[in-house]
Amino acid sequence: MRSLKFLVFLVFSVTILSGAAALSADKTKAGSPEKGKILYNKMRCYYCHKIGNEGGTTGPDLTKEGTKNRGIEWQIRNLNDATSTHPTKHPDPRMPKFDKLTDKMFLDLASYLESLK
């Protein structure tokens, strides 16, 4: 009986520790707003989107995008597929597909958008 209790305790402890490690790893997975800004400019997002006094007006104004508290995950989903975040609106067909971006690029771009306050 004692060894069964120890085994249950051991399994429970390993489960808790592995969950804590995974949570810690997720928090360290952060994008670079600086690299995201470079990517934003390189992809010429400013042709359609305005930040501050610079940029176009075809797409939404992103000046205070970070104040909307949408989060990195929402930004990435929106960049991947705007219909997933705006189901009642039809996204503008002029919004390009980002099928050439890596996961890290999405993370950087989303971090940049979240930094706009």
pLDDT, tens only, 84-96: 887 777 666 778 8
- The pLDDT-based confidence of 83 (bands split at 50, 70, 90) is confident
User: Binning pLDDT at 50, 70 and 90, where does residue 99 land?
Assistant: confident
Asked whether the predicted pLDDT for residue 21 surpasses 50, the reply is no
What pLDDT does 23 receive? 39
Residue 48, token pair as written in the block: 């359609």
Asked if the model's pLDDT at residue 45 lies above 60, the reply is yes
Contacts by residues 60-65 (CB-CB < 8 Å, ≥ 24 positions apart): 62/113, 62/116, 63/116, 64/116, 64/117, 65/113, 65/114, 65/116
Q: Of the candidates 46, 32, 43, 48, which has an alpha carbon nearest to the alpha carbon of residue 99?
A: 43
Mean residue pLDDT of the chain comes to 81
Looking at per-residue pLDDT, the higher value among 73 and 28 belongs to 73
pLDDT range class, residue 55, cuts 50, 70, 90 = very high
Residue 111, SS3? helix
> Is residue 108 pLDDT above 60, yes or no?
yes
Architecture of domain 32-115: Orthogonal Bundle (1.10)
Task: State the pLDDT at residue 73.
Answer: 96
pLDDT value for 97: 82
First-to-last CA distance in the chain? 59
Q: What is the pTM of this model?
A: 0.72
